[in-house]
Amino acid sequence: MKPQPLLLIAIALLCCCVTDEGDKITSLGKIADESIVYVWWSVKAEDRVYLGLGTVDGTSFAEFHPPNRLEILLSSEDFSQREAAVWDGEEILIFGGTVFENGKYSPTEQILSFNPKLERLRVLNASLPHPTSDVAAVWGDSRVYIFLNNSERCEVYAFYPSNESFAKLDVSCPIEHPGGCVHSVVWYGGKAYFFCGEGVASFDPMGGFKWIAFTDRVWVRAATVADGYIFAIGGSSGIAETKDEIIRFNPKTGELCEMRTKLPVARGQAVAVGGEYIYIFGGYTKDGYANEILRYDYRGDKCVNFIQLLNDDVKKYRPNNGKQ
C-alpha cells in the first residue's frame, strides 16, 4: 500500500431532511464523489474522527472534519472489508475482516495498525486465533476486548497492544454473531454494551455477560456514546428489513427508550460517532449503500417510548407506548 497525495472531498451542505420541527437530523451531503461508498468503521481519537472507506477502486483511511469535510490520508487499490477497529491512544487497530485475493474473497486473521499522524499502515506480527470476518472489538482498560466466532461459538479474548499478546477469557459468550454487532459495541464505565441480536447485553470483564433487555432480532446497529448516554441507531433484521429507529440507553439507571426522531431513510450497518452532535456515516438501505453523512441533534430530541427492561425471570420486554 502506498500513500497518495492528500485529497480533500468537499461535501455540499443540504437542507434538513424533513420539515417537521421535531425532527433533529440534517443531511450534510455525500461522503465522496464515488457512486458506491462503503464505510467500514469509525473511531474517535480525542478530538478527531477517522473513517475506513471502501469504493469500487479500493480502500482509504480518512479524517473527518465536522461539519462537512473529509481528508483522505492513505489510499490503496486493494479492496478489503475490515470493520472491527479501535483507537488505542496512539494508533487504530483493525482486526480480521475479508480481503480480496487471487480473484476471491477470503477471511483473514491479520491485525492491522494505522497511525494517522504518520499516515502509516502496517501488519502486526500477532494475529487472530483463526481467519474470520465475524469479529467485534472494543477498547477498554488499556486492552482490546475481542469477540469472535470459533466453530460457531462466540469466544472472548483480551489483546494487549504493548506486547501484541492475547489472553483467552473464561467466560460464556451469548452473542450469536459478533460480526453483526461490530458497530453496535461501545465501552462505558468499565463495561462493554452490545446493541444487537436478541437485545441489549452488557459485558463486565470481571463478571461476564448479562442481558439487559430483549428486543426483536436486530443486527448491525450503529452505536455511540454522547453526554453519558449510549445511542443505538438503525439496524437490520434482514437485507430488506432495515430500521429507522434511534434508541437511547442510560447505563447509570438502566433506562432504555426510543427517541422521537427517526432516520430519514431506514438503514443498517452505518457507523456513528458522538460529540456535540452525533454524526452518522453510510449504511445500507433498501436502495443500496447510502453515500451520505447525517448530523443528529440528540440534545434537542426527546424520548417518547420507554422500554421495559428485563425482570429477574427474564421476560420479553413490552413497549410502554405513550409514557413520558
Q: Where are the chain's structural domains?
A: 7-316
Residue 18 pLDDT greater than 50, yes or no: no
pLDDT score of 310:
53
Q: Which of 28-32, 170-174, 249-253, 305-309 has the lowest mean pLDDT?
A: 305-309
| 279: its cell numbers | 454524526
Do 70 and 51 contact (CB within 8 A), yes or no?
A: yes
Structure-derived torsion over alpha carbons of residues 94, 97, 101, 103, reported in degrees to the nearest 10: -150
pLDDT above 90 coverage of the chain, percent? 73
Among residues 319, 277, 315, the alpha carbon closest in space to that of 296 is found at 277
Q: List, for residues 250-262, the tens digit of each pLDDT value.
A: 999 888 999 999 9
| Mean pLDDT within 227-249 | 93
pLDDT at 63 over 90: yes
- The pLDDT score that the predictor gives to residue 19 is 37
Asked if residue 105 has pLDDT above 70, the reply is yes
Side-chain-side CA neighbours of residue 5 (13 Å): 1
Q: Averaged over 70-85, what is the pLDDT?
A: 94
The answer to whether the CB of 306 falls within 8 A of the CB of 297 is no
Q: What is the pLDDT of residue 78?
A: 86
Q: What is the pLDDT of residue 35?
A: 82
| Residue 3, preceding peptide bond in cis (omega within 30° of 0) | no
The dihedral over CA atoms of 194, 198, 200, 206, expressed in degrees to the nearest 10, equals: -60
Query: Per-residue pLDDT averaged across 201-219, rounded?
Result: 91
Which pTM value belongs to this model? 0.88
Whole-number average pLDDT of the chain? 87
For residue 313, CA distances in Å to 140, 211, 213, 310, 317 come to 30, 12, 12, 8, 11
Q: Going by CATH, does the domain composed of 7-316 fall within 2.120.10.80?
A: yes
